[in-house]
Amino acid sequence: MQGAGDIKIKLHRPVEGKIKTVSVKREGKHWSACCSCEVSAQPLPESANQVGIDVGLESFATLSTGEIIENPRCFKNAQKRLRRAQRRISRRKKYSKRWRKAVQYVLNIHRMIANQRRDFQHKLSREIVDHNGFISVEDLNAKGLTSGMLAKSAADVGWSSFLMMLSYKAESAGRKFVRVDPRGTSQRCPQCCKKAPKKLSDRKHVCFCGLRTTRDHASSLEILRLGLSLQDRTKPEVRVCVS
């Protein structure tokens, strides 16, 4: 390694492809080497399955298939433990041995939360890519969503990193991945394409055309319809059949 010479590492899995860069990262007392490799795409067998994904706070995601992915709430579940650990720091003399030990304990909790969130997102994104040939999501402004009253909850779910994982895994697998304009996806009916205004407190979708479902499921169906309309082979007026 440039400037450091040879360094021993614990290789947890074989390195695939040609290594282009190596970055060393420190998290508290934990060190890791991040390798950026040039690898060829690994296309998966073709799949006719199509899915629209509506991400949220109450549930992590609602799929157009009707499946609801529960929110793991990694930060919220560890918040009580984190609060106690932070109080421990305030009771220690700053820069003392016991203070440094308490700080390290807090860092370990934050590291655990990040690892849990990353593990959940990797597994979910892999499952979605493996089972669907076409994936449509909202083109969210994640930075704007994490600056309001719900900033803590929005940061806990980590939409931006999840959508990034979906994007590069879909590209590597040869899947079609489309981002659509999120404006109005919850205010239209995916079956008749007419306006279906709702307040934020309205969690049901009821349309005069006969479609009755949850707000999030209707949004995921509309996201899928918009995604399909962006394809060259699909006309913009295509509608999603709902049984």
User: Is 138 an active-site residue?
Assistant: yes
From the candidates 138, 139, 171, 181, give the one annotated as an active-site residue: 138
The residue type of 65 is T
From the candidates 216, 222, 232, 237, give the one annotated as an active-site residue: 216
User: Is 232 an active-site residue?
Assistant: no
Beta bridge partners of 206: 212
3-state secondary structure 95-138: CCHHHHHHHHHHHHHHHHHHHHHHHHHHHHHHHHHHHCCEEEEE
User: Is 216 an active-site residue?
Assistant: yes
Residues classed as catalytic: 54, 138, 216
